[in-house]
Amino acid sequence: MRARLEETQAELRRTRDHLEKLRAHQARERQFLQQELEQARHEVSGLRGRLEALERFENEPSPSSDENQPEPVAVERSATALVALARSPETGLTPLAISTLARLLNVAPVDVRLRLASPLPAALARLPLAQAEELRVSLREEGFLAVIHEVSPALPRKWVRVKRFALEEEGLRVENPNRESFPVRYAELRLLMRGRRTTTHVETKQEVDYEVHQQRYRRTPKEVEEKRQTVENFLWVMGKGFRAIFNESTQFTGLGALRTFTVHENLQRLMAELHQRAPHVARDERFVQQSRFVMPLVDPGRGQELLAEVLLQAVEEGLWS
């Protein structure tokens, strides 16, 4: 009986110790959550103030036009650049790191979290070139490995839409629909991106409604918008001064015995074959699951291409592999 009593008392002591540790852990967790809640309330309050200020600005009456004012002169838009975080600091994206980014970007911490919601690289800001370079330097001084990429509508990159291709011994040779040939050595390839793109096409059609009016049918024409979505599989092959698109319009006879019946599988096999011939290239397949990718600070229709360019810049600077 005494042994059983001692065993029961020991079990009670262990249970008491466990409960005390659990209470202490819950107290610490409660304190941490309260701090996070206060910080979130502070950020929401700041955003609400910014929204109210914007609404007041929008509701202000516009200044009256003056006949003596000179006519507005068209100003050429200067090129801007995306500043993107390519790699997290060694300590990770801690609350302190978020606060540091918010200070450098001059935005609220909640804005930083939104811009970092997607996998890296993530766009942090879009600024004129000189300011973008200054921000990149400041970010690197604080331990954030960032890259910049110029976004200039006046200087679009020329992408080769591949109709036919050949896997030669020293490099890849592609041919566009106009039968123009573009060779590139395997050593010059840097990035392979495979994915899907969803495109919405809007067509306007004329239809006629028939209504009964005074025992007679009345024809009422109307316009109806019809939306149609298409999904395209693609493989982007990118290198020094080289951009090529492989998709549904590509003939995959260049795969030889590796050729299969579906575009999806052919792109998979082509990507694997190119990586085997050029093991140094980086590979990314995030767009397989993100056919509708939206990148902050840019036109939604250009999000995938610009992210690919930012990722290529990170690869060339040794920040991505």
CATH number at residue 172: 2.30.29.150
Distance CA 227, CA 204 (A): 9
In this prediction, residue 52 carries a pLDDT of 63
Distance CA 130, CA 128 (A): 6
Assess if residue 30 is contained within a domain. no
What is the domain count for the chain? 1
CA of residue 99 relative to chain centroid, distance: 22
Pick the closest to residue 317 from 285, 282, 293 (CA basis): 282
**Could you tell me the pLDDT band of residue 234, with boundaries at 50, 70 and 90?**
very high
Q: How many CB atoms lie within 10 A of CB 67?
A: 4
Assess if residue 271 is contained within a domain. yes
* pTM as predicted: 0.69
> Per the structure block, which two tokens stand in for 305?
């291409």
Structural domain boundaries enclosing 245: 160-198+231-290
- Contact partners, residue 257, CB within 8 Å, separation at least 6: none
Residues 160-170 have pLDDT tens digits of: 999 999 999 99
Q: Exposed/middle/buried for 33, CB within 10 Å: 0-12, 13-18, 19+?
A: exposed
> Per the structure block, which two tokens stand in for 81?
């650049």
Assess if residue 240 is contained within a domain. yes
**Could you tell me the pLDDT band of residue 225, with boundaries at 50, 70 and 90?**
confident
Q: What does the pLDDT average to over 78-92?
A: 87
Assess if residue 189 is contained within a domain. yes
DSSP code, position 278? -
Residues 101-136 have pLDDT tens digits of: 999 999 999 999 999 988 899 999 999 999 999 999
> Per the structure block, which two tokens stand in for 114?
């939104």
Assess if residue 267 is contained within a domain. yes
Assess if residue 217 is contained within a domain. no
Assess if residue 218 is contained within a domain. no
Assess if residue 36 is contained within a domain. no
Does 1 have pLDDT greater than 80? no
